């Protein structure tokens, strides 16, 4: 797993949520207790609904506020409409409202800043950079301009510039969640884990439903709490649920988990497992309630944070589709394979749904002829369920206690590559809609560590050195070492379509790889045609 996976790669649309800069007052708060009436109440309700990823409701409230309010309220309502459409990936509608805001209120920085944000979301970085320069000169105290500048230079992989903009945004408004989130992202790039944790905790106080930050935070924490054993009746029900789940008897498993929780409402493992099944069946309210109960018992355990982040992400995705955003929907053809080799390398492959199996097969297909080599080396690639940690995987217990080079806890990660590799099951969900393919990245690590001969390994190292020297590595993380260079390249190689907006490390495609790094592309073309077996064995991320 790469550094940027912390922030956005699990689902490309998290990057848009990152673009929730200060076009309006900070979002957050509790759900509106009654149907709002006045213009001020309607605007507050709109912001609260947007923070909860209820975008259709947010639009309705903002439109009503525009009709009822005075001139200042109309400006706020236009900004809120533009921001909500932007967050929901409806760029044309967002642009219309930001243009209206810019035309009707020429002194308001939110109109032109919103239009510049659309340029960034659509990947028009040169346009955005020119706009940011003008906006800084025209609105030197507008927090949103500096947040946007930080996002731009993060996309550009220019850490120093991103830091300068993010720190300026926080200086202007120390409690603004978007400014804090931009600075948090910079601290991730700078490998400053203590700062990342501190900033993430503050952001989650302000925006509990922040998908990206909660997902990031989950990888920087590690629980040391020992949960007491539940009563025997609860344990028996939990074991029965686990057995039913292994047999794909999901309704029966749910019944037994519920029984375990009836016997012992604070049964931490049962809460996590029942929440995992609720998430898989899109029972979002139930999943959220269960995950929050688990979080109340152990606030430093990564899985309740992961599950809450996925609940919010599912709500975001549903609302985006309801508003008609143009989201690619990939299909995956059946791929022939040797089941003995496949199931030896992917031990829990048969527990996946047919759609998940097709995604796995399509992802590994270009290098599937190397599965026998992986099998002979003893390589295993586990698909990690939503209620399991890395340390639960055979061979990873010792690794779980270590930290990564950038300060995250291995035991809290959802993707690690090497002889024993894991990919979180949630990472398969994003692939079908053009998201980052974490499985491809981790599988490439496994190929690199277990299945390539020495000449090929030396060739990768030389290609990496040239890419860094000549500045054509795909992104800042690909440039961090030869392992991430290869893994990022393979992820791009298998990605024909990516959903915009995507992060600087999550948006690469096959065409981009061929254009930006043709020699690495040529290597993958060769590797797909003939095996390069070897005996090397590493673990890395």
Mapped onto helix, strand or coil, the DSSP state of residue 64 is: helix
Put the strands of the sheet holding 415-418 in their side by side order: 380-384, 420-424, 415-418, 539-540
Phi, psi for 72 (deg, rounded to 5): -65, -40
Domains of the chain: 3-218 (1.25.40.10), 232-322 (1.25.40.10), 339-540 (3.40.390)
Residue pair 453/376 in contact by the 8 Å Cβ criterion: no
3-state class (DSSP) for residue 99: helix
Query: pLDDT tens-digit profile of 110-165?
Result: 999 999 999 999 889 999 999 999 999 999 999 999 999 999 998 887 899 999 99
Q: Can you list the residues of the chain whose pLDDT is less than 70?
A: 1-33, 501-502, 530-541
Q: How many CB atoms lie within 10 A of CB 188?
A: 25
- Euclidean distance between CA atoms 206 and 293, whole angstroms: 20
Question: How far is 241 from 252, CA to CA, in rounded Å?
Answer: 7
Strand, coil or helix: 381: strand
Q: How far apart are CA 429 and CA 311, in angstroms?
A: 13
Say what the pLDDT of residue 3 is: 32
The whole-model pTM stands at 0.88
For 496, the 3-state DSSP assignment is coil
Buried b or exposed e, range 202-236, using 16+ CB within 10 angstroms:
bbbebbbbbbbbbbbbbbbbbbeeeeeebeeebbe
**End-to-end CA, the chain:** 5
pLDDT attached to residue 33: 60
For residues 460 and 485, is the Cβ–Cβ distance under 8 A?
A: yes
Of 359, 486, 358, the residue nearest 427 (C-alpha): 359
Nearest alpha carbon to residue 341 among 378, 311, 313, 393: 378
Kind and range of the H or E run holding 37: none
Closest CA to 316 of 2, 112, 33, 20: 20
For residue 511, what are the contacts with CB-CB under 8 A and spacing of at least 6? 496
Tell me the angle at which helices 55-68 and 302-322 cross, rounded to the nearest 10 degrees: 60
Q: What is the CB neighbour count within 10 angstroms for residue 326?
A: 11
Phi, psi of 201 (to 5 degrees): -60, -40
Nearest Cα residue to 182 out of 221, 140, 224, 216: 216
Predicted confidence at residue 90, as pLDDT, reads 95
DSSP for 439-451, written as a single string:
HHHHHHHHHHHHS
What is the C-alpha to C-alpha distance for residues 381 and 373, in angstroms, rounded to an integer?
14
Task: Note the pLDDT of residue 530.
Answer: 62
Contact between 116 and 128 (Cβ < 8 Å): yes
Q: What DSSP string runs through 263-320?
A: H-TT-HHHHHHHHHHHHHTT-HHHHHHHHHHHHHH-TT-HHHHHHHHHHHHHHHHHHH
CA-closest candidate to residue 523, choices 296, 348, 367: 367
Q: Which residue has the tokens 């686990």?
A: 242
Alpha-carbon distance 336 to 332, whole Å? 12
How many residues belong to the chain? Answer: 541
**Residue 136: burial class (beta carbons within 10 Å; 0-12, 13-18, 19+):** middle
SS3 category, 173: coil
For residue 57, give both structure tokens: 């409701």
Tell me the pLDDT tens digit for each residue of 382-441.
Answer: 999 999 999 999 878 888 889 998 899 999 999 888 889 999 999 898 888 888 999 999
């Amino acid at each position: 797993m790469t550094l940027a996976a912390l922030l956005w790669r699990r689902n490309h649309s998290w990057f848009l949520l990152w673009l929730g800069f200060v076009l309006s007052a900070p979002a957050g708060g509790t759900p509106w207790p009654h149907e709002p009436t006045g213009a001020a109440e309607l605007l507050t309700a709109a912001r609260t609904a947007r923070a909860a990823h209820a975008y259709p409701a947010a639009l309705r409230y903002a439109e009503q506020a525009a009709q009822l309010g005075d001139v200042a309220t109309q400006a706020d309502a236009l900004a809120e409409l533009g921001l909500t459409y932007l967050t929901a990936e409806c760029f044309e509608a967002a642009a219309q409202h930001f243009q209206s805001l810019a035309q009707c209120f020429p002194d308001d920085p939110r109109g032109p800043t919103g239009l510049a944000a659309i340029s960034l979301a659509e990947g028009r970085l040169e346009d955005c950079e020119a706009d940011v320069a003008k906006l800084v000169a025209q609105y030197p105290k507008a927090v949103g301009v500096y947040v946007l500048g930080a996002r731009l230079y993060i996309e550009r992989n220019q850490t120093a510039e991103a830091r300068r903009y993010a720190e300026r945004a926080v200086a202007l408004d120390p409690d603004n969640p978007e400014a804090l989130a931009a600075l948090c992202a910079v601290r991730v790039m700078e490998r400053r884990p203590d700062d990342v944790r501190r900033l993430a905790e503050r952001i989650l106080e302000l925006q509990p439903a922040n998908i990206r930050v909660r997902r990031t935070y989950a990888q920087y924490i590690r629980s040391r709490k020992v949960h007491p054993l539940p009563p025997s009746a609860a344990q028996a029900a939990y074991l029965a649920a686990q057995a039913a789940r292994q047999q794909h008897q999901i309704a029966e498993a749910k019944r037994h988990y519920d029984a375990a929780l009836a016997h012992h409402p604070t049964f931490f493992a049962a809460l996590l497992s029942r929440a995992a099944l609720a998430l898989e069946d899109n029972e979002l309210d139930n999943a959220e309630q269960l995950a929050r109960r688990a979080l109340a018992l152990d606030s430093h355990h990564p899985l309740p944070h992961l599950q809450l982040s996925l609940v919010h992400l599912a709500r975001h995705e549903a609302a985006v589709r309801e508003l008609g955003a143009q989201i690619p929907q990939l299909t995956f053809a059946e791929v022939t394979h040797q089941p003995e080799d496949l199931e030896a390398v992917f031990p829990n492959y048969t527990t996946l749904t047919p759609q998940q199996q097709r995604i796995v097969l399509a992802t590994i297909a270009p290098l599937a002829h190397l599965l026998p080599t992986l099998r002979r080396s003893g390589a295993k690639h586990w698909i990690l369920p939503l209620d399991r940690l890395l340390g639960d995987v055979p061979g990873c217990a010792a690794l779980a206690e270590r930290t990564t080079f950038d300060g995250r806890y291995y035991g809290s990660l959802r993707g690690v590559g090497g002889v024993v590799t894991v990919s979180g099951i949630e990472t398969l969900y994003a692939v079908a809609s053009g998201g980052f393919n974490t499985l491809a990245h981790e599988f490439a690590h496994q190929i690199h560590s277990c299945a390539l001969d020495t000449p090929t390994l030396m060739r990768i190292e030389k290609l990496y050195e040239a890419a860094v020297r000549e500045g054509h590595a795909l992104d800042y993380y690909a440039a961090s070492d030869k392992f991430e260079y290869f893994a990022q390249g393979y992820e791009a190689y298998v990605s024909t379509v990516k959903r915009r907006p995507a992060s600087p490390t999550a948006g690469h495609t096959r065409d981009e790889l061929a254009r930006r790094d043709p020699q690495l592309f040529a290597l993958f073309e060769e590797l797909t045609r003939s095996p390069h077996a070897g005996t090397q064995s590493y673990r890395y991320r």
